[in-house]
Amino acid sequence: MNATITVLPRRRRYPSDTTDAEWKLLEPLLPPPASTTPSGGHPEAHPRREIVDAIRYLVDNGCKWRALPSDFPPWKTVYGFFARWAKAGVLEYLRDQLRRRIRVDAGRCPRPVTAIMDSQSVKAAETVSRDTRGFDGAKLINGRKRHLIVDTKGLLMTVKVTAADVTDRDAAREMLPELRKNNPELTLMWADNAYTGLTDWARNELDLTFKVVKKPANQVGFKVLPRRWIVERSLSWLMRARRNARDYERLPEHSEAHITWANITLMTRRITRADGRRAALPKLIAA
């Protein structure tokens, strides 16, 4: 007699695991399994939710791929999904759809009209090659630089990871044409002094108003500046995910993927918390 082995789903036990509400939000946005497409492919051996939970665990806790807990699928399987989804643009699709949901729920236009950009230099581990790292003389950091563009709610629109010696202006010249193409409604960009000199270029080449928020001449110590605090807050959100506290990735594209995953988690948590509050409101009123 042949015994049937039943594989039970993994018990949710880590703070980074998706809730049922989050998975209901994410699952329809993921690409269909290859086995269900006309081109065909092998059926996936592990549930998608366990793959996503494993990626979120690694991003949140900062462990090595080989150190993923044993209750997750094998690390090579998880890494394969991570790399394929990053290369195929799946993360950008998730990011944009979730951001639009939050904006619509807040009564905003689905596509941003105004954005803010800034950069952050971080130290790089020995796994980062010399070709993709550099020295930021202003911050005295040997590593990589993250260039972020966010909307007025601080939600990620795009990210580019470069060597730390790449200037903010050079990165902006690479990022803004593609961003403008994908977001035709975008008309205004805010930035700090590091982007001085881009105003005419942005207006003439991209039909984009570029404004630099400068520090007051007499400013002493830290002071919250209009608009700039939004992207600086986004950078602090990013650093809550321990994988992003330092750059360990051989490929800059994988660093961008870790940053995007951290932002995706932030957005799914925000959406599901808001949905939970709205669902609880009629019960409170009835009581």
**Residue pLDDT, tens place only, 45-62:** 899 999 999 999 999 999
Q: What is the pLDDT of residue 128?
A: 96
Q: All domains of the chain, ordered by start, with CATH?
A: 89-216+225-277 (3.30.420.10)
What does pTM read for this prediction? 0.90
Q: What is the pLDDT of residue 38?
A: 80
Percent of the chain whose pLDDT exceeds 90? 79
**Residue pLDDT, tens place only, 204-239:** 999 999 999 887 667 666 566 668 889 999 999 999
Q: What is the pLDDT of residue 228?
A: 84
**Residue pLDDT, tens place only, 234-268:** 999 999 999 999 999 999 999 999 999 999 999 99
Mind spelling out the 3-state secondary structure of the chain?
CCCCCCCCCCCCCCCCCCCHHHHHHHHHHCCCCHHHCCCCCCCCCCCHHHHHHHHHHHHHHCCCHHHCCCCCCCHHHHHHHHHHHHHHCHHHHHHHHHHHHHHHHCCCCCCCCEEEEEEEEEEECCCCCHHHCEEECCCCEEEEEEEEEEECCCCEEEEEEEECCCCHHHHHHHHHHHHHHHCCCCCEEEECHHHCCCHHHHHHHHCCEEEECCCCCCCCCCCCCCCHHHHHHHHHHHHCCHHHCCECCCCHHHHHHHHHHHHHHHHHHHHHHHHHHHHHHHHHHHC
Of the pLDDT bands very low, low, confident and very high (cuts 50, 70, 90), residue 5 is very low
